Amino acid sequence: MIIDCHGHFTTAPPALATWRERQIRAFEDSGARISPDELHITDEEIRTAIENAQLKLQRERGTDLTIFSPGAGKMAHHYGDVHTSLVWSQVSNNLIARVRDLFPDRFAAACQLPQSPGDALASSIRHSAEELERCVIDLGFVGCLLNPDPSDGYWQAPPLTDRVYYPLYEKMVELDVPAMIHVAMSRNPAIQGTCAHYLNGDTTTFMQLCESNLFTDFPTLRLILPHGGGAVPYHWGRYRGMMLDRGRPPLEEAVLRNVFFDTCVYHKPGLQLLTDTIPAHNILFASEMIGAVRSTDPETGRRFDDVKATLDTINTINKTDRQAIYGDNALRVFPRLESVLSTTKQEVAR
Amino acid sequence: MIIDCHGHFTTAPPALATWRERQIRAFEDSGARISPDELHITDEEIRTAIENAQLKLQRERGTDLTIFSPGAGKMAHHYGDVHTSLVWSQVSNNLIARVRDLFPDRFAAACQLPQSPGDALASSIRHSAEELERCVIDLGFVGCLLNPDPSDGYWQAPPLTDRVYYPLYEKMVELDVPAMIHVAMSRNPAIQGTCAHYLNGDTTTFMQLCESNLFTDFPTLRLILPHGGGAVPYHWGRYRGMMLDRGRPPLEEAVLRNVFFDTCVYHKPGLQLLTDTIPAHNILFASEMIGAVRSTDPETGRRFDDVKATLDTINTINKTDRQAIYGDNALRVFPRLESVLSTTKQEVAR
């Protein structure tokens, strides 16, 4: 079974974006709220949005299951207040649950969290723990997205290792679900989103983890760094040396028991470096389709985000490691996948 | 000749840091100024600082010349006002000129610029053009450091492609000197300096350049991205795809005529990726010694920043490309090096 651990609902029916724009505008204009009941999306619209896009590509590429979450950039946590983010998260997550219900053998669900920047950070993290519990317990989700910069491009929050985040980590540990660390949009004109802020978010978070003892406090906490870990594997020697300079334990001990890298790297030398440098145990297959890059590579004739096709050409990965990267690791990092999948199988059999 | 294009005076005599602390404190306490005349460093102190450090490592490693600039983190452009940064730049650059005068066959000089964030940005860029001219014309410098985030970790300035920077680019083109794009310190508690902010600065700037037409306006402008280009070569496919998505010209055309990557990548798979992905024409040898990482790699028995030793083990680089990376490219990107070197030779001969 080939599990793609990183997909967002970037093709959601346009009614979703319209509702969100109305929500933001109403709050900014007069502090008014828009009810989730004003959003109308039919099952047919969802089916169309998925069948012509993610599902089509899954079939073409031979991948089986995607861990599916709301559009990451569209989380846009800086808008409105705590209530704005809470309702937007519920709306987005409920839509992901509907996708999963329509295609239960093709998608598992991960939720966005109702984070907010500035003074609202602490209360937004308590709301995040509650929304995570609702999604996991009531809706059968298997993971979440955690944004290290809810200010969306200005890095106004403390590091993710700060105690303000601990109520969320306690809930994650209790529910046994991991978080993918994923920034949202950038509203900073100096920092573009998908090709700068996204990668910087991964790099910045890794260094926060290297400097902290978060995993001493939460030995079973599991975090996934997307986009191949930003700049990290390319600069693995820099991080190894920095840990030695500081008299810290080796990365294997300090970080790699808890941190995983996905494979969203869109050329062969990059995937070669990732798999040469990071232990296979710590790599999760992912393509982030349909996402940041949508073109076809004229050099290969395939889309840049067809990571599986490129990974398949790397012959330095042995069979066991390949199986770990393609699925076994995901089953370990997302333990709730197992029961979700067995329920689905029973339902399909009935 | 092997030219290391990236070295900072990280081992400067302690009197420099003491003077700087007094400068910052005096301004913060009462708006007072400290005179550069109050800084006293002897030639003997400079010799000791260099001979036991950079010069020793140059000899051990078999590199010939380092393009030497003030400590990058210590530029710390957010402190004080325009005048603070101007005087601090003059003090730092004059010290670099003294290093070069004491060891003219071992060091060429690059200057820091008196940048400032916020409302002072535009006037600080005019001061930067003047300080660049002073350093190049009066002191024989060959390049400069340009900080894409003078707010030091909060990214408060417009992108480097904004017209506010054009007076500096006009001066660079007139003087025919390149800039290494190098952030200074990070004062943001979420973003560590050398292993997050530095790499993010490189990645962020590259994307600014991809999105702009800066090189249409300045076809001969040359910029160096240090630290192997941050996350860029590892994600080369992402950038290629993004340019196609946007209907922009290929990277070779849009960026690689003007942008160069250094080799400050501290492990073999990273250097392999860099040299496999980026044309040799666009790679400049560099180690940033003595800099961000100072330990010895227990796996190789050599310091992590001994980039030359690692590059020498990569057997996929042909002789011409190796010569380009080790020196020929630097002579092309820093054309003033040629006359500096021939003057030195004549002086040595006399």
C-alpha radius of gyration, chain B, whole number:
19
Q: What pLDDT does A340 receive?
A: 84
Cβ-nearest to B293 among A188, A245, A296: A245
Assess A194–B contact: CB distance below 8 Å, yes or no.
Answer: yes
User: Is pLDDT at A344 greater than 90 in this prediction?
Assistant: no
Q: Full-prediction pTM beyond 0.90?
A: yes
Q: Do B235 and A270 touch (CB under 8 A)?
A: yes
Assess A157–B contact: CB distance below 8 Å, yes or no.
Answer: yes
The domains of chain B, with CATH numbers, are: 3-349 (3.20.20.140)
Q: Do B211 and A191 touch (CB under 8 A)?
A: no
Q: What is the DSSP string of A248-287?
A: PPPHHHHTTTTEEEE----SHHHHHHHHHHS-GGGEE---
Count Cβ atoms below 10 Å from residue B38 Cβ, excluding itself.
11
Q: How far is A254 from chain B (nearest CA, A)?
A: 16
The Cα A215–Cα A173 span in angstroms is: 11
Quick: pLDDT tens for A213-249.
Answer: 999 999 999 999 999 999 999 999 999 999 999 999 9
Q: If contacts are CB pairs under 8 Å, which of residues 282-301 in chain A contact chain B?
A: 292-298
Say if strands B3-8 and B107-111 run parallel, antiparallel, or are unpaired. unpaired
* DSSP code, position B78: T
Q: How far is B250 from chain A (nearest CA, A)?
A: 11
Q: How far is A343 from chain B (nearest CA, A)?
A: 37
Q: Which of B200, B236, B240, B316 to mutate to test the interface with A (most CBs of A within 10 A)?
A: B200
- CB contacts, 8 Å: B277 with chain A: 267, 269-270
pLDDT band at B341 (very low <50, low <70, confident <90, very high): confident
Nearest CA in chain B to A233: B270
Q: Do B242 and A293 touch (CB under 8 A)?
A: yes
Q: If contacts are CB pairs under 8 Å, which of residues 71-110 in chain B contact chain A?
A: none
- CB contacts, 8 Å: B189 with chain A: 158-159
Q: What pLDDT does A348 receive?
A: 66
* Sheet with B3-8: strands ordered across: B3-8, B65-69, B107-111, B143-146, B179-181, B223-225, B259-262, B283-284
> How many interchain CB pairs under 8 A, A with B?
210
Average pLDDT over residues B293-319: 97
SS3 for A62-91 is CCCEEEEECCCHHHCCCCCCHHHHHHHHHH
Quick: pLDDT tens for B234-252.
Answer: 999 999 999 999 999 999 9
- What is the separation of C-alpha A77 from the centre of its chain, rounded to a whole number of angstroms? 15
Assess B247–A contact: CB distance below 8 Å, yes or no.
Answer: no
User: Is pLDDT at B348 greater than 70 in this prediction?
Assistant: no
User: Is pLDDT at B346 greater than 90 in this prediction?
Assistant: no
Cβ-nearest to B304 among A204, A237, A295: A237
Residue percentage of chain A with pLDDT more than 90 = 97
User: Is pLDDT at B349 greater than 80 in this prediction?
Assistant: no
Q: Are B248 and A302 in contact (CB under 8 A)?
A: no
Q: Are A150 and A141 in contact (CB under 8 A)?
A: no
Going by C-beta distance under 8 Å and a sequence separation of 6 or more, which residues neighbour residue A289? A4, A7, A54, A57, A303, A305, A306
Q: What pLDDT does B60 receive?
A: 97
Quick: pLDDT tens for B98-151.
Answer: 999 999 999 999 999 999 999 999 999 999 999 999 999 999 999 999 999 999
Quick: pLDDT tens for B252-274.
Answer: 999 999 999 999 999 999 999 99
- CB contacts, 8 Å: B204 with chain A: 190-192, 196, 200
Distances from the Cα of A201 to the Cα of A168, A191, A235, B72, angstroms:
19, 11, 15, 22
Write b or e for each residue in B317-336: b if 16 or more Cβ atoms lie within 10 A of its Cβ, otherwise e. beeebbebbbbbbbebbbeb
Q: How far is A338 from chain B (nearest CA, A)?
A: 32
Q: Do B265 and A238 touch (CB under 8 A)?
A: yes
Q: Do B270 and A266 touch (CB under 8 A)?
A: no
* pLDDT mean across residues, chain A: 97
- CB contacts, 8 Å: A294 with chain B: 241, 245
Quick: pLDDT tens for A284-336.
Answer: 999 999 999 999 999 999 999 999 999 999 999 999 999 999 999 999 999 99
Average pLDDT over residues B216-240: 98
In terms of phi and psi (left: phi > 0; alpha: psi -120 to 50; beta: otherwise), the region of B76 is left
- CB contacts, 8 Å: B228 with chain A: 234-235
Going by C-beta distance under 8 Å and a sequence separation of 6 or more, which residues neighbour residue B187? B78, B152, B153, B154
Beta bridge partners of B179: B144, B223
Tokens describing residue A262: 């996905």
Q: Do B244 and A295 touch (CB under 8 A)?
A: yes
- CB contacts, 8 Å: A270 with chain B: 234-237, 273, 277
Q: How far is B304 from chain A (nearest CA, A)?
A: 6
Assess A130–B contact: CB distance below 8 Å, yes or no.
Answer: no
Quick: pLDDT tens for A94-137.
Answer: 999 999 999 999 999 999 999 999 999 999 999 999 999 999 99
Query: Which residues of B are catalytic, by number?
Result: 288
* Sheet with A223-225: strands ordered across: A3-8, A65-69, A107-111, A143-146, A179-181, A223-225, A259-262, A283-284
Q: Are B73 and B184 in contact (CB under 8 A)?
A: yes
Query: Which residues of A are catalytic, by number?
Result: 288
Going by C-beta distance under 8 Å and a sequence separation of 6 or more, which residues neighbour residue B233? A234, B261, B273, B274, B277, B278
Assess B194–A contact: CB distance below 8 Å, yes or no.
Answer: yes
User: How wide is the angle at C-alpha B228 spanned by C-alphas B101 and B50, nearest 5°?
Assistant: 25
Nearest CA in chain B to A202: B196
Q: How far is B132 from chain A (nearest CA, A)?
A: 24
Nearest CA in chain A to B229: A231
Cβ-nearest to B231 among A192, A208, A230: A230
